[in-house]
Each structure stands twice: as structure tokens, then as C-alpha cells.
């Protein structure tokens, strides 16, 4: 166990923390979450390391010195929560330090609920003990004292990820490495028929020598065993619970992977994506809110997080795909190329055949193609199957295949009078609109196309800020979230724009999701999905935007 024992908070507030960017950047806690509360002051009793020496006349901690089951001497309290108190203890039989979880159940609880609590602790021990993985805390023993189970575990020297995030966020490589270790623990658990059901930063321990451990299987569900529920209680930490569990549907491995996605988002973005001021509001945000696209760690890590946070578990990437993305994100940057110095043989040496320039170029092309193919396999966005009720449309004038919901109405320019390249689809109400525009390089006589997708996005973003967009009834200076991304392994860019229309008679909130992509031939593609910024159509519009971007196929037909 860790210094805080992975303990649960006892209030109805979600288990969150003040997240700040890593030093030396200035602290900006929860930049997009107005409900975040300051982190509690550290508890001196929860500090890692050996128990502090007692000064003259100082009283020992209540319970310290007690001998459990004739061998475990309690030394100092490490942490506590709703399920119990975690102690640092000495196993006097084998002379080693261990972590011991003391059951803590209020005396006023009915006997049945007390029995359920004790059974849950026994189940925690069974769930962890059946797993053989270095990222799962090891259970040594379950000592029964007065009918109550005390769980004896390895003592992981270090602190929780939750404690670390109170000091600052993780960079992409560190977050990906942490995610890989937790993913390995979850894969081992799922292979053994165990669902953790409470993956969160406070239950991820950062030990010595880079070790990362998933702990606290206190509410784990073991396949084949009957379920335990708390009367009037909610099992798990609300902001990390998958939507299907909130709805009371059957949980599966994808539910634990959702929680991992929330952890990675919070660890890199500096904000807990679904945390609100109380539990009901938090659960509503899990079901309905769409967090801002991750921007702090673009590339494979952002792709993994975005995929894991899909509301429908059937559309989330599986563990194999997540592992590939996290491995790519955790990889060190490629080393700088070095120049090879060759010494030509002297006249007496046998001549050595060297490939000609054309052959060398051919070999180089093969190597580049192989590397590109490998990257595309690892970096291709996870779109999953086309959603039910969607259709693909081959649009020759924009050289792409566009996916939209069935029944959307198509519009396109009249090629007799309009030489622009675009196609538009909208629902019958006109509230949600999908527009794909192609700007061919060969027709760019005015040099409007920028050198990259990101440059085009930032140029458009500057126009939005300075003058808005009259064609969209957009006033100047809307709220934007530009970021660089990838499309099919190539550089792309995205922007999310929120504004209130400048229609004096009927101003309405609107939101745009825009994808920019510049093909190898220099053609620029812009996919714009617009929808209401508030109301029943907002979440539907965001779903349409996400699926339209994920299923866009440029270059076909």
C-alpha cells in the first residue's frame, strides 16, 4: 500500500484534486473547471517513510504498538478512508515492514451492513491475491481479529498519483508510461475475471525505482461471485465511473478502460473532465458532457484518451489498441541523425561494390515506406464500426468519402455557375450541418492555402478573433480551442469554436468543430460541423462531429 493507502474520501464530493501544470510553468489549477475545490492540507500522519520519532513526553498514536495476529506490530497510521485505516506495521515473524488495512465500520450500522463491509474486505484480498502482475499490490495475509479481517499487504514506498498531481501535471511520456503499467494490471485482472471498478489517481501508487502499482480492489467484482451493494450507496468514485455503470448496465473491461482514460486526461490536461460541485451533477456530466479535446499531449496519447472516453463502450478501443498507442507515446524521441565517416580502401585492397545513386535512393524509399507503414498501423485513428443509422457518401468533387447520419439532406454548388469545391449535409431541422470543403493547390492563384494544416487553422483562428465570420453570424473574439492533431498518421489540426450569433432578433449559441488537413499534393481540406451550443441538439451535434471526423476518408473515390 501507499502512504495514503488509496483511501476513499468520505464526503459526497468527488475524489478530485487541484491539478497544476508542472513546474516551472505558472500554476493554473483547473483552467476549465469552475467547481474545483482547493486540495486539503496534507495530513502529517500520511507522510511516507518511517514513523517519526516521539519527542520527550509525546504520546504515541492511538493504536500504535498493538500486535495483530501475534506477528504484525502496528507502527504508524498511513491513511484512512471509509473502508478502514492503513497502518505501517512490522511483521515480526520475518522482520519486514508491511502495510496493514484495519477494518473500520461504524458501530451503529446494522449487523447485515457490517457483515457486507467485512466481506468486501475479504473480497479485496481475494481479488488482489489471485493476480500475478508487478503492477498489482501483493497481498501477504488476511488476519482475522475478533471476526474482522485485517489485510496484510506489501508496503509500497512512495506516494499516490493523486498526491503527485496536486503538484503538477505529467508530461506525455510519463503519463503514457504510467498508463501502460495500469493497463497491464487491468489486463491481468480482466484475464482472471476481475473488474477493478475504482481506477483513479488515489489508487495508483508511484513506488521506488519507477514502479507503478494499482491497488485498492475493495469494490472489485469477481466473475462468478454474487454482488455486494451498499444500501443507498454508490459503488465507486463518481467522476471516474463509466457511463454504462451510471445507467446500471452490465460493466465489463471497457468500463475500467474508461476510468483509465479519465485518469490520463486529468494527469495531462490539468483538469478532471467530469468533476462538478456534487455527486448528481458529476454523474450527469459523465452521461452527457463532452470534455474539451485533449491538447497538452497531442498525438498517440490524445488519440488513446479520446477513444477511451467514448460514451458507448462498443466504440472504445480495446486493450491491445490502447497499448499500441501508449507505447508510441512513451517512446523516447528519435535520436538526431549522425553522419557516417567512411574510409575508402587503399589501392592494394580489393575493390568494394557500392550501390549507385539510383539504387541508394530506391533503398531509402523502401525504408521510408516501411517506417511510414509501421507508423500508420500504430497511429491510425480508432474509428470503430460506422454507427447504426449512418451512411457513407462518395463525393467526387471533393475527392473524399464523407459519413453522415442517414436522412441528412445534401447540398452542393451548381458546377455551371460555381467552381468551388464543397459539399454539405444537414439534418431536416437545419440545426446540425456538416460541410467539407476542398481547396485544390492547382487553383490557389491567390496563395490562400497556408504551408500546413496548423498554419491554416491559426490563420483562420486569428480571423475569428479579429472580425468573426459573417457567413456564420459569428461575432469577433469567440471562444476557441485550436490544437494540432493527426489524420491517418499525417499532421492535421483541429479547432472547437463556441459563440453566440450576432443576430439582433434571435441570438443563439453555436459551436463548431473544424478539422484541417493538407494532403501530400498540397490540397487543403476543411471539415466543419456546426450545431447548437446549448440544448438537446448539443450532445447530438458533438457526436456527429466526432464520428464525421473519425470516418472521413480523404482521397476516395
Give the rounded distance of the alpha carbon of 430 from its chain centre.
33
Give the residue from 204, 218, 195 showing the smallest Cα distance to 84.
218
- Give start and end residues of each alpha helix (H) in 70-110: none
In the residue annotation, 469 being an active-site residue is answered as no
For residue 397, the tally of other CB atoms under 10 A from its CB is 14
Give the residue from 519, 521, 501 showing the smallest Cα distance to 511.
501
Q: Kindly give, in sequence order, each residue whose CB lies less than 8 Å from that of residue 168, ignoring residues fewer than 6 positions away.
A: 19, 20, 21, 22, 23, 27
125, 207, 214, 274, 341 from 130: Cα distances, Å: 9, 21, 14, 32, 56
Q: Are 431 and 537 in contact (CB under 8 A)?
A: yes
Give the rounded distance of the alpha carbon of 308 from its chain centre.
6
In angstroms, rounded to a whole number, what is the distance separating the alpha carbons of residues 530 and 474? Answer: 12
Q: Are 285 and 265 in contact (CB under 8 A)?
A: no
Of the residues 91, 141, 198, 216, only one is catalytic, namely 198
Beta bridge partners of 513: 496, 529
In angstroms, rounded to a whole number, what is the distance separating the alpha carbons of residues 139 and 144? Answer: 14
491 marked among binding-site residues: no
| Cα distance from N-terminal residue to C-terminal residue, the chain | 57
In angstroms, rounded to a whole number, what is the distance separating the alpha carbons of residues 149 and 486? Answer: 51
Residue numbering of the annotated binding site for ATP: 101
Q: Which residues participate in catalysis according to the annotation?
A: 198
Amino acid at each position: 500500500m501507499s502512504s495514503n493507502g488509496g483511501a476513499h474520501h468520505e464526503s459526497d464530493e468527488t475524489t478530485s484534486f487541484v491539478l497544476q501544470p508542472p513546474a516551472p510553468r505558472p500554476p493554473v489549477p483547473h483552467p476549465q473547471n469552475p467547481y474545483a475545490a482547493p486540495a486539503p492540507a496534507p495530513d502529517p500522519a500520511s507522510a511516507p517513510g518511517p514513523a517519526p520519532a516521539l519527542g520527550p513526553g509525546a504520546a504515541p498514536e492511538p493504536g500504535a504498538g498493538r500486535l495483530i495476529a501475534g506477528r504484525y506490530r502496528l507502527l504508524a497510521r498511513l491513511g484512512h478512508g471509509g473502508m478502514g485505516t492503513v497502518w505501517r506495521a512490522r511483521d515480526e515473524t520475518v522482520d519486514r515492514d508491511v502495510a496493514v488495512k484495519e477494518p473500520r465500520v461504524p458501530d451503529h450500522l446494522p449487523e447485515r451492513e457490517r457483515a457486507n463491509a467485512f466481506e468486501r474486505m475479504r473480497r479485496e484480498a481475494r481479488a488482489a491475491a489471485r493476480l500475478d502482475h508487478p503492477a498489482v499490490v501483493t497481498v501477504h495475509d488476511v488476519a482475522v481479529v475478533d471476526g474482522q479481517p485485517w489485510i496484510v499487504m506489501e508496503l509500497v514506498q512512495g506516494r499516490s498519483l493523486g498526491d503527485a498531481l496536486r503538484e503538477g501535471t505529467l508530461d506525455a511520456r510519463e503519463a503514457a508510461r504510467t498508463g501502460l503499467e495500469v493497463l497491464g494490471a487491468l489486463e491481468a485482472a480482466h484475464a482472471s475475471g476481475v473488474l477493478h471498478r475504482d481506477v483513479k489517481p488515489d489508487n495508483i501508487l508511484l513506488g521506488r525505482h519507477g514502479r507503478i502499482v494499482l491497488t485498492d480492489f475493495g469494490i472489485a467484482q469477481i466473475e462468478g461471485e454474487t454482488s455486494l451493494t451498499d444500501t443507498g450507496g454508490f459503488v465507486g468514485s463518481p467522476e471516474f465511473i463509466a457511463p454504462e455503470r451510471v445507467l446500471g448496465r452490465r460493466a465489463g473491461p471497457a468500463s475500467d478502460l474508461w476510468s483509465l482514460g479519465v485518469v490520463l486526461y486529468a494527469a495531462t490536461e490539468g483538469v478532471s473532465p467530469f468533476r462538478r460541485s456534487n455527486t448528481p451533477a458529476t454523474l450527469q456530466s459523465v452521461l452527457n458532457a463532452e470534455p474539451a479535446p485533449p491538447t497538452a499531449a497531442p498525438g498517440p496519447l490524445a488519440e488513446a484518451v479520446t477513444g477511451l472516453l467514448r460514451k458507448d463502450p462498443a466504440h472504445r478501443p480495446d486493450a491491445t489498441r490502447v497499448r499500441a498507442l501508449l507505447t508510441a507515446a512513451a517512446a523516447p524521441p528519435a535520436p538526431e541523425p549522425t553522419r557516417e565517416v567512411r574510409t575508402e580502401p587503399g589501392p592494394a585492397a580489393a575493390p568494394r561494390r557500392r550501390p549507385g545513386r539510383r539504387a541508394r535512393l530506391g533503398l531509402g524509399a523502401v525504408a521510408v515506406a516501411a517506417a511510414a507503414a509501421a507508423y500508420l498501423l500504430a497511429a491510425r485513428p480508432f474509428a470503430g464500426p460506422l454507427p447504426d443509422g449512418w451512411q457513407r457518401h462518395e463525393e467526387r468533387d471533393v475527392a473524399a468519402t464523407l459519413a453522415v447520419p442517414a436522412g441528412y439532406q445534401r447540398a452542393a454548388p451548381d458546377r455551371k455557375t460555381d467552381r468551388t469545391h464543397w459539399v454539405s449535409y444537414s439534418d431536416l431541422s437545419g440545426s446540425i450541418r456538416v460541410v467539407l470543403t476542398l481547396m485544390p493547390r492547382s487553383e490557389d492563384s491567390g496563395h490562400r492555402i497556408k504551408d500546413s494544416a496548423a498554419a491554416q487553422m491559426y490563420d483562420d483562428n486569428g480571423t475569428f478573433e479579429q472580425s468573426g465570420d459573417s457567413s456564420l453570424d459569428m461575432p469577433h473574439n469567440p471562444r476557441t480551442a485550436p490544437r494540432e492533431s493527426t489524420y491517418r498518421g499525417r499532421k492535421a489540426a483541429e479547432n472547437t469554436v463556441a459563440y453566440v450569433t450576432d443576430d439582433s432578433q434571435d441570438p443563439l449559441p453555436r459551436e463548431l468543430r473544424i478539422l484541417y488537413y493538407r494532403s501530400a499534393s498540397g490540397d487543403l481540406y476543411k471539415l466543419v460541423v456546426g450545431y447548437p451550443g446549448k440544448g438537446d441538439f448539443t450532445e447530438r451535434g458533438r457526436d456527429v462531429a466526432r464520428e464525421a471526423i473519425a470516418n472521413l476518408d480523404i482521397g476516395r473515390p
